[in-house]
Amino acid sequence: MIRVVDLHKNFGRQEVLKGINLDVEAGKITTIIGGSGGGKTVLLKHLNALLLPDRGSVLVDGVDITKIGESALNNIRQKFGVLFQGAALLDSMTIYDNVAFPLREKTKLTETEIQKRVEQRLEQVGLVGAGYKYPAEVSGGMKKRAGLARALVMEPEIVLFDEPTTGLDPLLGKSIHQLIRKIHGAFGFTGVIVSHDIPEVFKISDRVAMLANGVIAEIGKTEEFVASQNPIVRQFVRGETEGPLAVL
């Protein structure tokens, strides 16, 4: 569903992505791991053209989104839902209105139809009865769930997850992972997760890619990835300070 070809991105003199090649399989969850500041989120933002590369291509269903106009790009973006790292809820709106927001902005559904869909999504993420609350009144885990409900409310084909368990304790993090897998089973979307939460995130991933030194150092089915003899993968997965990866 998504193909990244020879993707390069610099910020000033800092070369972040140095020729990324990556295939994301339709209907599967692909997780991208790698060191802090290594470009995982930068790569994720290229997948729906929130960032544009200096060189290279990103193809979504065969369409290179780096070379199309704004109108065509907006149509492609309708395929995507995004769960941002901090959930990115609007503080001035209730949980219900945050989830309803994309429907009101981008569709012609009636309020009755919107209510039905929003309540369905809130139920699916375990937030029945919490729609009247404001983001400041709920826990970090509930904010993540609300963000996931909003990401799913447009029924996207592709969902991007930027560090979905950041800021959560291990139990809450595990519950969010389980929720992602449960929701994936229900919707069958193509998922891309950027995460540092290893090895827990491996339990919900179909494929894992390792981003190191600006390129994809390894990618494969989760069980194959975990068993990889690649020294970069072995060092990172085991959390070892000695090895080919530089540790500050």
Cβ burial of 127 (10 Å; 0-12, 13-18, 19+) is buried
Please give the C-alpha separations between residue 200 and each of 9, 33, 176, 191, 228, in angstroms, as whole numbers. 29, 12, 11, 16, 17
Residue 198's pLDDT band (cuts 50, 70, 90): confident
Q: Determine how β-strand 80-83 pairs with β-strand 158-162.
A: parallel
CA distance 100 to 29: 26
pLDDT for res 235: 86
Q: In this predicted model, what pLDDT tens digit does every residue of 169-188 receive, in sequence order?
A: 888 889 999 999 999 999 99
pLDDT for res 247: 60
Q: Cβ contacts of residue 35 below 8 Å, gap of 6+? A: 212, 236, 245
Mean pLDDT of the chain: 92
Between CA 228 and CA 218, with CA 84 as vertex, the angle to 5 degrees is: 15
Whole-model pTM above 0.75? yes
The average pLDDT across 57-68 equals: 94
Domains for the chain: give ranges and CATH numbers.
1-79+157-248 (3.40.50.300), 87-155 (no CATH)
pLDDT at 64 over 90: yes
Percentage, residues of the chain above pLDDT 90:
78
CA distance 33 to 94: 33
Range among 84-88, 106-110, 234-238 rated most confident: 106-110
Between CA 214 and CA 105, with CA 148 as vertex, the angle to 5 degrees is: 100
Q: Cβ contacts of residue 103 below 8 Å, gap of 6+? A: 109, 114, 117, 118, 153, 154
pLDDT for res 245: 76
pLDDT for res 237: 85
CA distance 31 to 44: 11
- 3 state DSSP class of 199: coil
pLDDT at 159 over 70: yes
Backbone CA torsion sign across 236, 242, 246, 248: positive
Task: Please state, as a whole number, how many other Cβ atoms lie within 10 Å of the Cβ of residue 54.
Answer: 12
Residue 76's pLDDT band (cuts 50, 70, 90): very high
Is the CB of residue 77 less than 8 Å from the CB of residue 127? no
The average pLDDT across 195-214 equals: 92
Structural tokens at position 3: 């193909």
Is the CB of residue 162 less than 8 Å from the CB of residue 201? no
Q: In this predicted model, what pLDDT tens digit does every residue of 15-57 receive, in sequence order?
A: 999 999 999 999 999 999 998 888 999 999 999 999 999 999 9
pLDDT at 248 over 60: no
Q: Determine how β-strand 190-194 pairs with β-strand 215-221.
A: unpaired
pLDDT at 243 over 90: no
